[in-house]
Amino acid sequence: MSSKLEQLQALLAPVVVALGYECWGIEFSAQGRHSMLRIYIDKEGGVLVDDCAIVSRQVSGILDVEDPIAAEYTLEVSSPGMERPLFTIEQFAKYAGDQVKIRLRSPFEGRRNFQGLLRGVEEQDVVVQVDDHEFLLPIDMIDKANIIPSFD
């Protein structure tokens, strides 16, 4: 995790929790005037638009005062949704048994993209079964991971 992301997590996660929500994860992509700060919130029973607005207002106030991002950016607050992103080892463990899509920061065994069955976790590794091969992917190598929704 980049130091900017860690800084934002430390600043904003307690605010989200104080408002009664779970801070599911934070993404920050710096691209000049098109930078994006995305905060995923969750709660029992699901997240409504009003919940996102409440968190957005509170977080905007904190960001205006603390000013941790020098450039222009867009703030987006949303629920994790059906293609739920996974950020922590605990989240990967919770969704064991689901289909998952993972992109790594750098190639592992010759590839960066893995799609398959999330088998669980072993210490700091995420275990993914792709076809009949099992991969242990170090969590700190994961750039992006999402649940693939199933519609049975």
Structure tokens at 86: 């996974």
Output the CA–CA distances (angstroms, integers) from residue 1 to 6, 7, 21, 81, 116, in the order listed: 7, 10, 22, 22, 24
Tens of pLDDT, residue by residue over 7-66, are 999 999 999 999 999 999 999 988 877 889 999 999 999 999 999 999 999 999 999 999
Instruction: Round to whole Å and give the CA distance between 143 and 38.
Output: 15
Structural domains in the chain, CATH included, are 3-78 (3.30.300.70), 89-147 (2.30.30.100)
Structure tokens at 87: 């950020």
pLDDT at 9: 94
Q: Is 119 left (phi over 0), alpha (psi -120 to 50) or beta?
A: alpha
Tens of pLDDT, residue by residue over 66-90, are 989 888 899 999 999 999 999 999 9
pLDDT at 18: 97
